[in-house]
Chains A and B, each alone.
Chain A
């Protein structure tokens, strides 16, 4: 509460006292003085209307909501973590991405790296790859000598080309 009356000498315009008047921040005596001034000053009445309109415009603004999760909030349907247990308390530095999303992305990234490494390590040069036709020939020849019943089918595989 502001004990002083309208700023400046009597007769001067109210100025910032008008906002204090609107906000009920004037002591009773100062308020009466302001009301008396307003009754006879169209300039101050007009200014009062202006600042009152601005004040109203801000006050009727709805609470600004965000769809992001704030700290300490659980996603809808999630099982709340036990107090002090894993997932409770500080949920990590605020980020536009959730920690679960980060974990999923990390898993995919790791999978991609492993797949790329395997692809690089696989032999590409046919000269170092085992020659399957020759292996089949060798096996078929050996089977014909030893009479391996399972290898009787081996000659069928021989015509198949495994080469590049």
Chain B
């Protein structure tokens, strides 16, 4: 393995919290975020050989986002499972032990969770991870114009939800 490429253990230890934060913003709850990070780390382990030194966080963001979108597609194919549209999942009556205690963050997170997954993904990659539109387009395999549209519509919906 290239000496500049970190080991899987190093990635998990150094970037685990970053991955968890992105996963939490995408899924909106602690359990799903953990599952997402687990699956993402498995993919990291398999794909580490192909990693080229560069933006590790950008690369990890792509992986965790793809895991999230795969899971969304899987749930759409199997609608028997609880979908994110379920109001009880969207609007938890009481935050869990691991939920943020900051009220504003709670409100923003709840509004973020209500966004359609495509908009949420684009907004999270832009405003939480800090990727450029081109990087987001590359990560989720859509044109840059689509990214721009999704980010803007996502922000508008979020603003409406927060008012």
Query: Roughly how many angstroms separate A61 CA and B137 CA in the complex, as a whole number?
Result: 24
**Chain A residues near B30 (CB, 8 Å)?**
66, 68
Query: Roughly how many angstroms separate A88 CA and B10 CA in the complex, as a whole number?
Result: 11
Inter-chain contact B108/A61, CB cutoff 8 Å: yes
Q: Does B41 contact A (CB under 8 A)?
A: yes
Q: How many of chain B's residues touch chain A, expressed as a range?
A: 35 or more
Query: Roughly how many angstroms separate A17 CA and B153 CA in the complex, as a whole number?
Result: 11
Q: How many residues of A contact B (CB 8 A)?
A: 38
Inter-chain contact A58/B148, CB cutoff 8 Å: no
The digit string for B99-116, where 1 denotes a CB below 8 A from any CB of A, is 010101100110010000
Q: Does A20 contact B (CB under 8 A)?
A: yes
**Chain B residues near A71 (CB, 8 Å)?**
12, 16, 37-38, 41
**Chain B residues near A18 (CB, 8 Å)?**
152
CB-CB contacts below 8 Å: A58-74 with B: 58-59, 61-68, 70-73
One of B19-27, B50-58, B64-72, B82-90 contacting the partner: B19-27
Inter-chain contact B98/A66, CB cutoff 8 Å: yes
> Given A58-B128, A88-B9, is A2 in contact with B100 using a C-beta cutoff of 8 Å?
no
Q: Please, which residue of chain B has its CB at the minimum distance from the CB of A50?
A: B159
Inter-chain contact A16/B16, CB cutoff 8 Å: no
Inter-chain contact A72/B9, CB cutoff 8 Å: yes
7 A-B pairs with least C-beta separation: A72-B12, A16-B152, A72-B13, A19-B152, A70-B16, A54-B159, A54-B155
